[in-house]
Structure 1
Amino acid sequence: MQLSPLFTFLAGLAMHNDRAWFQERKAEYTRLRADFEEDVAFWRQELNRLDPALAGPLGRTSVFRIYRDVRFSKNKDPYKTHFSAYFTASAGKDIDAPGYYVQVGPGSTLVAAGLYQPDKVQLAAIRQEIDYNADDLRAVLGAPGFRQYFAGLGGDRLKKAPAGYDPAHPEIEFLKHKSFAVSQEIPDAEVLAQKDFRGYVLARLEALVPFCGFLREALEG
């Protein structure tokens, strides 16, 4: 991926987020997106090796469109100012199974994984797994390879204990989570300094494999 040209293009798009500016530079956008898709294909290939679930028949990669859905948003800018992709072992909706996410753009580069806003059945299953096997989750989140890049479990949380769980439960802070995700935001200077951005991102994706495995095991029972 040509990081410097990509960041220059996306920074310009942030300043001129309108159709006329974009259409004048559509050819440049197409070239940059093709470069990104090559990197996505590489990450997919490596994730298939690292996480066998992704290599199965339901494995899916989504390279997201740059066009924003503005129907229900106060922000009517028509274009996103980043490129992004999601890798999952599900053929259904992009968010219905644990997966890996890569986003690249000025001020918004990150690598993440997990399950965002699971439904009630999924949420109950993950909480049950934490209730029964919290040591497994702690081992995943405390592994040196994970801690090298990620601070810990993120995502939205309840203010109080979820229904059916004692507020004094030893794992109550985990159980309060409504989403189960981890992420690392990466400064622009660090991104642009990389000579091997593919490998840089891959190292972080590899560190996330056990976390996705824990969530998937919880959901599969």
Structure 2
Amino acid sequence: MNTTLIYDFLKAIAANNNRQWFQEHKNEYQTARQEFETEATQLIRQIASFDPTVAHLSVKDCVYRFNRDTRFSPDKSPYKRHFCVYISAHGKKSLHGGYYVHIEPGQCILAVGTYWLPTNILTACRNEIMANEEEWLRCVENPDFLHLFGSPDSATWEDAQGFGMTHLKTCPVGFPRDYAYLRYLRQKDYCCWRRVDDDFFAQPDWMQRAIEIFKVAKPMMDFINSVVDDYE
């Protein structure tokens, strides 16, 4: 991937986040976005080789608009400062978990899973974890998963790796407080992530390295998706 092209534009838009500058440099944006989307298209194909559920997706199904939604944000800058792709079999607006790549200078992330689940689905996920405890632990307490992502409560979104972006402070209502694996019930999402250096995407094997990370997280995501899909 030509990361120099992408990072140069993203650094520039971060420093000049206004419509006039963007219109004057729209060709640079289009060139950088095309570079990113070309790689994203190939990534979808590579993921489909081990997860056929995403094989039908096109890059347009998986990338977001570059304009920011500023209606409810104190930050009124009109454009994002990153490129990202979210590869989910049910589409980027669904609750069904997927694979996420975020490219931003100093903030590059690979992530897998789902977030912002409504309470009824979270409750169902918690019940499923308790009902199929051994299967869940095989997904999230094997050495590879723990090495790449760690355990719930061990990190925040700003850290280098983590599992669960937000958590309840106490036991969820209706669940046993003395449950041995309460940390998994306190999660408010089932997303795991790993931050990577900016030069990660400049390496010729970046896609294969990303896929190896995604494969480790896939069993956890499949477990949660089996619950989420009952509600979609």
Confirm whether residue 103 of structure 1 aligns to residue 102 of structure 2.
yes
Partner of 2:194: 184
- Quick check: 1:62–1:94 contact (8 Å CA) kept in 2? no
Cα offset, 1:97, TM superposition: 1.0
> Gaps (5+ residues) in structure 1?
none
Cα offset, 1:99, TM superposition: 1.3
Partner of 1:8: 8
Looking at structure 2, the residues matched to 47 and 61 of structure 1 have their Cα atoms a distance apart, in angstroms, of 15
Amino acid at match of 1:162: P
Q: TM-score, normalized by length of structure 2?
A: 0.85
Amino acid at match of 1:201: A
Distance 1:63 1:52, change over 3 A: same
Distance 1:61 1:137, change over 3 A: farther
Partner of 1:125: 124
Cα offset, 1:181, TM superposition: 0.7
Partner of 1:158: 168
Confirm whether residue 204 of structure 1 aligns to residue 213 of structure 2.
yes
Q: Deviations over 1:136-166 (max 9, x none)?
A: 2221223344345322422211111111111
Q: Percent identity?
A: 30
Partner of 1:168: 178
Distance 1:77 1:161, change over 3 A: same
Distance 1:183 1:138, change over 3 A: same
Cα offset, 1:212, TM superposition: 1.4
Amino acid at match of 1:130: I
Partner secondary structure for residue 183 of structure 2: helix
> Gaps (5+ residues) in structure 2?
152-162
Mapping of 1:19-168 within 5 angstroms? 19-55=19-55, 61-91=61-91, 94-152=93-151, 153-168=163-178
- Quick check: 2:95–2:228 contact (8 Å CA) kept in 1? no
Looking at structure 1, the residues matched to 25 and 205 of structure 2 have their Cα atoms a distance apart, in angstroms, of 27
Looking at structure 1, the residues matched to 103 and 126 of structure 2 have their Cα atoms a distance apart, in angstroms, of 32
Cα offset, 1:78, TM superposition: 0.8
Count of residue correspondences: 218
Q: Deviations over 1:161-186 (max 9, x none)?
A: 11111111112111011111100111
Q: Deviations over 1:90-131 (max 9, x none)?
A: 14x624111111101102210101111112232122101111
Amino acid at match of 2:128: E
Amino acid at match of 1:113: V
- Compute the RMSD of aligned alpha carbons: 2.2
Partner secondary structure for residue 50 of structure 1: coil
- Quick check: 1:87–1:99 contact (8 Å CA) kept in 2? yes
Looking at structure 2, the residues matched to 127 and 192 of structure 1 have their Cα atoms a distance apart, in angstroms, of 36
- Quick check: 1:160–1:176 contact (8 Å CA) kept in 2? yes
Partner of 1:215: 224
- Quick check: 1:47–1:54 contact (8 Å CA) kept in 2? yes
Cα offset, 1:75, TM superposition: 0.2
Looking at structure 2, the residues matched to 66 and 29 of structure 1 have their Cα atoms a distance apart, in angstroms, of 10
Partner secondary structure for residue 61 of structure 2: strand
Looking at structure 2, the residues matched to 14 and 39 of structure 1 have their Cα atoms a distance apart, in angstroms, of 22
